[in-house]
């Protein structure tokens, strides 16, 4: 009977080395395939947001407000003496006596009608977010990008010590060239406080005007980004949670070691960006999706700003 020959140590090491090389060669391909799947999921989610916003317009003959707020002295409302009101930048809310984010307004069109019916829109967000099981803490999967490292539920501690819980969102509505830093807020995009834009007002073209885009929540120089957001925020300051704009390029981050000023925080909070390599996903007013790579200043930033305005007269093509 012949003896069976066993592997020598050298042969075994060679086999292990070959397997290691094959794994090293395959790993980038596997990672690329996974990222492609995540990006496709992100595009599908934003496409649904775009289509739902179009259906809102078909129903109400206007797009939803960036945030619908009463003009009153109530907590979270916008005061009648506020500069934005007295200047005419912010007008009466399309829906009287309600506090509602843009996401809450379109919930019935993304199969979340039961969720909306459970929300008390007669009060600011605190009424809906008081515990981990509150309605405002519910996770709405369509609002989250799989490449965004944001926590699905984040918390906010109010000045009195009360803790509130918010289901997060990876996507922001397009507020134009300046969505935040309240006194400088502009109305050249699609959404702002008590906005009521009609399709006919998108004179730059529905295929070349941004509707929604991504926000990336990771920034080592600005840890507050990790908890900025929440679809249930509905107050005077809520624009920073789900309305983006274009003062800075896609994927803008603060420099390492920065102690940001309020203005720098504003630029970072309203910046579009993503965890997808090289750019971010957007949905246009016509419902089409685009992966934009406008990550630099100069001509790239100018083009991004032109895409964010709805009626500035630019001719933009991809």
| Domain boundaries, given as residue ranges, for the chain | 30-308
Q: pLDDT at residue 1 above 60? A: no
Around Cβ 205, how many Cβ atoms within 10 Å? 17
190 in Cβ contact with 173 (< 8 Å): yes
189 in Cβ contact with 177 (< 8 Å): yes
178 vs 305: CA distance, rounded Å: 10
pLDDT of residue 93: 97
- Residue 193: closest CA among 93, 57, 50, 72: 93
What confidence category does residue 26 fall into, taking pLDDT thresholds of 50, 70 and 90? low
- Tell me the H-state helices in 3-101: 9-60, 83-86
Higher per-residue pLDDT: 168 or 4: 168
pLDDT of residue 24: 73
Q: Which residues pair with 153 in a beta bridge?
A: 167
Q: pLDDT at residue 177 above 90? A: yes
Q: What share of the chain is helix, strand, coil (3-state, %, to 5)?
A: 35, 10, 50
Q: Which residues pair with 210 in a beta bridge?
A: 284
Question: Model confidence over 243-289: pLDDT tens digits?
Answer: 999 999 999 999 888 788 888 888 999 999 999 999 999 999 999 99
Structure tokens of 79?
A: 């005061």
Question: Model confidence over 186-215: pLDDT tens digits?
Answer: 899 999 999 999 999 999 999 999 999 999
41 vs 243: CA distance, rounded Å: 21
């Amino acid at each position: 009977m012949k003896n069976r020959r066993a592997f020598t140590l050298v042969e075994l090491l060679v086999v292990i080395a070959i397997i290691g090389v094959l794994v090293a060669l395959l790993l980038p391909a596997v990672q690329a395939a996974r990222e492609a799947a995540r990006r496709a999921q992100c595009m599908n989610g934003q496409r649904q947001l775009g289509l739902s916003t179009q259906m809102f317009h078909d129903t109400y003959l206007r797009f939803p407000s960036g945030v619908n707020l009463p003009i009153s002295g109530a907590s979270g409302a916008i005061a009648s003496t506020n500069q934005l009101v007295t200047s005419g930048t912010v007008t009466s809310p399309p829906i009287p006596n309600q506090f509602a984010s843009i996401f809450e307004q379109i919930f019935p069109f993304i199969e979340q009608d039961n969720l909306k019916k459970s929300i008390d829109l007669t009060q600011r967000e605190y009424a809906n977010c008081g515990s981990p099981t509150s309605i405002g803490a519910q996770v709405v999967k369509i609002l989250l990008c799989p490449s965004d490292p944001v926590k699905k539920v984040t918390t906010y501690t109010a000045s009195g010590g009360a803790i509130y819980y918010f289901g997060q969102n990876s996507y922001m509505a397009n507020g134009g060239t300046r969505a935040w830093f309240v006194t400088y807020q502009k109305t050249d995009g699609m959404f702002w406080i008590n906005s009521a834009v009609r399709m006919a007002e998108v004179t730059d073209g529905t295929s070349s005007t941004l509707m929604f885009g991504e926000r990336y929540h990771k920034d080592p120089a600005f840890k507050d980004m990790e908890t900025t957001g929440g679809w249930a925020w509905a107050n005077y300051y809520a624009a920073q949670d789900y309305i983006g704009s274009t003062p800075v390029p896609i994927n803008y981050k603060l420099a390492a070691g920065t102690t940001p000023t309020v203005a720098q925080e504003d630029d970072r909070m309203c910046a579009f960006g993503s965890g997808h390599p090289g750019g971010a996903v957007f949905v246009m007013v016509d419902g089409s999706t685009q992966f934009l790579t406008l990550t630099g200043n100069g001509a790239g930033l100018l083009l991004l700003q032109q895409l964010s305005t709805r009626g500035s007269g630019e001719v933009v093509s991809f």
